[in-house]
Amino acid sequence: MILDQFRITDRVAIVTGGSKGIGRGIARAFAEAGADVTIASRNPADLEATAAAIRKDTGRRVLAVPCDVNDRAQLEAVVDATWKEFGRIDLLVNNAGGTPPRPALRTSEKMFEAAFHFNVTSAFLLSRMVIPKMLEGGGGAILNISSGMSWLVDKGFVAYGTAKAALAHMTRLLAFEMAPRVRVNAIAVGAIATDALLPFLEAMPEARAKLEAGTPMHRIGTPEDIAAAAVYLCSPAGGWVTGKVFEVDGGTVASNWPLELPSV
C-alpha cells in the first residue's frame, strides 16, 4: 500500500521550535505517523502542554526539552536527552528560527550576525551533532525550515532573507556530502497562520486581505500544510529525495508581505 510509505513507525525525531506553530504541527504529524518525538523550545510551559496533548492524542512517546538553539550546550543537551530516552535518532527538523523585518540601513552588524546564527549556525551545529547518531542506526533524514524570502525580495528582510538563503544552500551542500545514508531537504514556507502571525492579522484585517490577495491560492497556509510536506520528505515516501528545497507557499511568486516598510 502506498500509504504505508508515509509511515515512520518507531522512528525517533527531534523538532526544534516544537511547542508552537509549524514545529508543533510537524511534531504532531510525526507522532500520528508513528514516530516518537523530542520537542525543544525556549518556553517550558508551552513545551509541556504540547507534549501532553500529543501523547494523549497519538499514544506516542514525546519528550519535552527546554532549549535555546543559540546555545551550543543546550543543543547538546537535547541530543543527549533524546539518546538517553529513546536510544536512537532518525529524524531532525531544524524549525527554530526567524528574524523581525528591519530596514537594511538600520540593521546593525550585531543584528545581522545574530540572524545568521539563529537561522543557520544553530541548524548546522545540531545537524552535525545528530548525524553520527543517525549513522549508528543506519541513516536518517534532516529537514530545514527555510522561507520563501530566501529567494523573494522585499524591503526590510536583508538579514532574514539572507540567512534563510544560506540555510537553503546549506541544505544542498549537506545533502550532497551525506548521501546516501542521510537525506537533507528543506521547505521554503510561505505565510503560515502561526501564533506569531495570527494576532497581527487579526488586529489588521486589511493586511490579512492584502496577504491573501497576493497569494495565488487566496488563503494563508496552515501548520498542517507544512507538516504534510514534512512527513513526505522524512518518510520512506520521500526516500529518493535529497538536497531539495520544496516551496510550500500557496503558489507565491512575488512577495506578498502586506506592509510597506521604509528603506531607512
pTM of the model: 0.96
Catalytic residues, by residue number, are: 160
Q: What is the pLDDT of residues 5-42, one digit of tens each?
A: 999 999 999 999 999 999 999 999 999 999 999 999 99
Q: What is the pLDDT of residue 129?
A: 98
Instruction: Walk me through the domains of the chain, giving residue ranges and CATH numbers.
Output: 8-248 (3.40.50.720)
Q: Which amino acid is at 150?
A: S
Q: Is the pLDDT of residue 196 over 90?
A: no
Cell 494523549 sits at which residue? Answer: 56
- With a CB cutoff of 8 Å and minimum separation 6, the contacts of 149 are 157, 160, 161, 164, 255
CA distances from 147 to 45, 170, 189 (A): 27, 14, 5
What span, in angstroms and rounded, lies between the C-alpha atoms of 189 and 127? 20
Query: Which has the closest alpha carbon to 263: 153, 152, 115, 118?
Result: 153
Is 62 within 8 Å of 39 (Cβ atoms)? Answer: yes
Cell 507544512 sits at which residue? Answer: 226
Q: Is the pLDDT of residue 101 over 80?
A: yes
Q: What is the pLDDT of residues 56-73, one digit of tens each?
A: 999 999 999 999 999 999
Query: Which has the closest alpha carbon to 220: 187, 251, 261?
Result: 251
Output the nine-digit C-alpha cell for 177: 556530502
Task: Please state whether 243 falls in left (phi above 0), alpha (psi between -120 and 50) or beta.
Answer: left
Question: Exposure string (b/e) for 131-144, b if CB count within 10 Å is 16 or more?
Answer: bebbeeeebbbbbb
Is 162 within 8 Å of 192 (Cβ atoms)? Answer: no
Band (230; pLDDT cuts 50, 70, 90): very high
- The residue ranges of DSSP E strands in the chain, in sequence order, are 12-16, 36-41, 62-66, 91-94, 140-147, 182-189, 245-248
Q: What is the pLDDT of residue 195?
A: 84
Three-state DSSP class for residue 187: strand
Q: What is the pLDDT of residue 264?
A: 67
